[in-house]
Structure 1
Amino acid sequence: MYSEANFKSKLIHWFDENQRQMPWRETTNPYYIWLSEVMLQQTQVNTVREYYLKFINRFPTISDLSKAEEDEVLKYWEGLGYYSRARNFHTAVKDVDENHAATVPRDPEIFKKLKGVGPYTQAAVMSIAFDQPLATVDGNVFRVWSRLNNDNRDTKLQSTRKAYEIELSPYVQSQSGTFNQAMMELGALVCTPKNPLCLFCPVQQHCEAFEQGTVSELPVKSKKIKKKNVKQHVYIIKNLNDEVLIEKRKAKLLNNMWEFPMYEATASEGINQALNIDIPISTTPIKHLKHQFTHLTWDIDVFEAKTAVDHTKTELPEEMTWMKMTDKEMYNFPVSMTKIYEFIKKQF
């Protein structure tokens, strides 16, 4: 199609001149690079910066993180979402601490066996930290590469990812980390999903989609699965000490995080059954909100108990506890529950 060396040199020169300043680009520590890649999955760069800096300040080494309790790790992740990333990372770091002398493995085949390490994370960390010749293929790279080649293959298919990794392989035999970052940065800053800045693209002359006028049609993606919508009822229940009832989740989604008692709308007696008492609940919600997950939407109505519960006569299930409103920072709350907390805090 075109000179590989010419294309690569133009792209890397552009990256050297235009890359955004990010704290994880200022380190060669493989643990920090790994952490940043995990945090950046499905999360915007500007959101990650603060979390990344706080995290490495609290857990500066693999051993520090390995020794930490999961609740504390999740607390430092609170607000980033996709909490399985934090749990998997914590598990993997423990493995590295115990079985690899607290040193991130340089061997890609060993690294990919760690919990939560998929093809993208393997390629990104191994190439950036150790210059291993692996091509990263994320959403940005799918977009850039499909447009460069005017490629109509469905980027949702695993076969397309595999094909892209093979096609990009010649470009990562040297300077792999720099090339991978340059491709992703080009997708983030220039070759954007909408209104790409084609006139400012450093490799425009190599772009077949630009030549054919098909940039806006690429990449090709099969239709997304329609999200399931689940109506949820959340209950705000106070006791005589002005504490509020919270519950640790048992469900796989947001497992072990804390929430105000929540039940699907069809389970209208859920809270009374859980406490084995009859609590008068307001019939009109005090707040409504929606929270989006990848394949699921929670449509939440928040209800308030009309009277305070006498906690001295109420035995709570093991997964429930009373929380002082000033102690919220001691518990790991998902974003939806934090929004509810901020709302009811004004009433205390």
Structure 2
Amino acid sequence: MIEWPESKIHAFQKTLLDWYDHNKRDLPWRRDHDPYHVWISEIMLQQTQVHTVIPYYERFMGEFPSVADLANADEGRLMKAWEGLGYYSRARNLQKAARQIVQDYDNVWPRDIAELQKLAGIGPYTAGAIASIAFNQPVPAVDGNAFRVFSRLLEIDDEISKPQTRKIFEQVISKIISQERPGDFNQAIMDLGSSYMTAANPDSDHSPVKAFNQAYIDGVELNYPVKNKKPRPIEVDYFALVIRSSAGILMEKRPDSGILADFWTFPLVAKEDLLAFSGQDEFAEDEDALTAMTDYFAQQYGLTLAFQFLPVKKVTHIFTHRKWLMTLLSADLTTENDLSLFPGRFFSKEDFIQHAFPKVQQKLIDRVNSLDE
């Protein structure tokens, strides 16, 4: 790893901030330094592209213009406002943190980075972003952009997936960050990492900081940052069930922990569980799976159903470590059945409008709706 002398640090700060002053992105959360605005934008930007976040952010601010509004919001309304962004635990943590600010901090934002990390869902990066942008504190905000930019500038060979590596980057950046304009410095690094210093196909020939980019000068830019390849997500086969009656479509309430916790979905039965129920290693024919599902629902929930395959392709959805492959089955419930054993209820058209659904469920709905097109 290269270490810069003080003169080079000052030259880098000036070059970076001059470029930022003339080229910074016009983003709605950058129009002031309100910690609430910084916080909401940073949480939304986790796992989500900037162009996708902008309309969500603007609608969210219209719905919940202050921390107190968010703290007091109905959870269903909050989930609806978040619908489509995914990773719904982020929204729940937003409300938990808002309530902490209102109740534990008398509606006054903590400024200290350690205090900020006591708020639900706020880790070192988000705390650094809020402290530097909203409160002008010279602390780094180390995200993927910062890892990429500084590993290339200084040829830092530490593997970035290791927890201790963050500390190394924080120490390095703390020596380089502008003491006068830390928020602009951190945002300039974000913009640099998403433009000239991208993960693939960087444009360092035209980068404003190419003279400082040692990996570019040495022709090894794509070797940085150093990271192990992520393991491929494990594939899991599911049957997604579209069960209709005169009351609507049967929906299942997911458990309060695990993937899609507390959300409503079509009933989902893992193929592995259905095979175990039927005592088979594999279904020899498609009809065997339909028979097994009929028996499964009769025994588990006391529901008499005759399933058939819907003539649509499987729906695929990738979580961080899992890839779900969902085959759609349908059935009609023509007689009155007791749902007391089933973890759900029938949804009317109005229910579908009012409830927030995870992205995987929206994919299933879209695939079913494609049959009517």
- Asked whether the equivalents of residues 116 and 127 of structure 2 are also in contact (C-alpha less than 8 Å), the reply is yes
1:195 paired residue number: 201
2:128 paired residue number: 123
- Asked whether the equivalents of residues 304 and 333 of structure 2 are also in contact (C-alpha less than 8 Å), the reply is no
Matched, 1:247 2:247: no
2:271 paired residue number: 265
Give how far 1:28 is off.
2.0
- Asked whether the equivalents of residues 301 and 342 of structure 2 are also in contact (C-alpha less than 8 Å), the reply is no
Structure 1 CA distance, aligned partners of 2:334 and 2:96?
40
1:166 paired residue number: 171
**What letter is aligned with 1:238?**
R
Q: Which moved more, 1:136-145 or 1:148-157?
A: 148-157
- Asked whether the equivalents of residues 298 and 304 of structure 2 are also in contact (C-alpha less than 8 Å), the reply is yes
Query: Matched residue of 2:142: which SS?
Result: coil
Give how far 1:284 is off.
5.8
Change (3 A) 1:118 1:271: farther
Structure 2 CA distance, aligned partners of 1:211 and 1:15?
22
Matched, 1:62 2:86: no
Give how far 1:53 is off.
0.8
Give how far 1:316 is off.
4.4
2:365 paired residue number: 341
- Asked whether the equivalents of residues 198 and 204 of structure 1 are also in contact (C-alpha less than 8 Å), the reply is yes
Structure 2 CA distance, aligned partners of 1:218 and 1:271?
52
Structure 2 CA distance, aligned partners of 1:23 and 1:319?
42
Normalization by structure 2: what TM-score?
Answer: 0.88
- Asked whether the equivalents of residues 261 and 271 of structure 1 are also in contact (C-alpha less than 8 Å), the reply is no
Give how far 1:100 is off.
1.2
- Asked whether the equivalents of residues 302 and 341 of structure 2 are also in contact (C-alpha less than 8 Å), the reply is no
- Asked whether the equivalents of residues 142 and 166 of structure 2 are also in contact (C-alpha less than 8 Å), the reply is yes
Give how far 1:108 is off.
1.9
Report matched runs for 1:103-252 at 5 Å: 103-170=108-175, 171-241=177-247, 243-250=248-255, 251-252=257-258
1:328 to 347, 352, 357: 352
1:292 paired residue number: 318
**What letter is aligned with 2:192?**
L
Give how far 1:17 is off.
1.1
Report matched runs for 1:14-25 at 5 Å: 14-25=19-30
Change (3 A) 1:287 1:119: same
**What letter is aligned with 1:301?**
T
Structure 2 CA distance, aligned partners of 1:105 and 1:308?
55
**What letter is aligned with 1:342?**
D
Structure 2 CA distance, aligned partners of 1:53 and 1:59?
10
1:308 paired residue number: 333
- Asked whether the equivalents of residues 135 and 172 of structure 1 are also in contact (C-alpha less than 8 Å), the reply is no
Q: How large is the Cα RMSD of the aligned pairs?
A: 1.8
**What letter is aligned with 1:297?**
K
Deviation string for 1:178-204 (max 9, x for gaps)? 100111110001101111111111111
Query: Matched residue of 2:305: which SS?
Result: coil
Deviation string for 1:287-337 (max 9, x for gaps)? 4111011111111111111x3343x44334473111123431211211111
Unaligned runs of 5+ in 1: none
**What letter is aligned with 1:227?**
P
Query: Matched residue of 1:266: which SS?
Result: helix
Structure 1 CA distance, aligned partners of 2:350 and 2:367?
14
- Asked whether the equivalents of residues 62 and 93 of structure 1 are also in contact (C-alpha less than 8 Å), the reply is yes
Unaligned runs of 5+ in 2: 275-292
1:282 paired residue number: 308
**What letter is aligned with 1:298?**
W
Structure 1 CA distance, aligned partners of 2:143 and 2:89?
19
Structure 2 CA distance, aligned partners of 1:60 and 1:316?
41
Structure 1 CA distance, aligned partners of 2:222 and 2:371?
49
2:282 paired residue number: none
Number of residue pairs matched by the alignment = 345
Change (3 A) 1:115 1:249: same
Structure 2 CA distance, aligned partners of 1:259 and 1:66?
27
**What letter is aligned with 1:300?**
M
Change (3 A) 1:346 1:316: farther
- Asked whether the equivalents of residues 134 and 172 of structure 1 are also in contact (C-alpha less than 8 Å), the reply is no
Query: Matched residue of 2:352: which SS?
Result: helix
- Asked whether the equivalents of residues 133 and 169 of structure 1 are also in contact (C-alpha less than 8 Å), the reply is yes
Normalization by structure 1: what TM-score?
Answer: 0.94
Query: Matched residue of 2:229: which SS?
Result: coil
Structure 2 CA distance, aligned partners of 1:70 and 1:139?
31
**What letter is aligned with 1:302?**
L
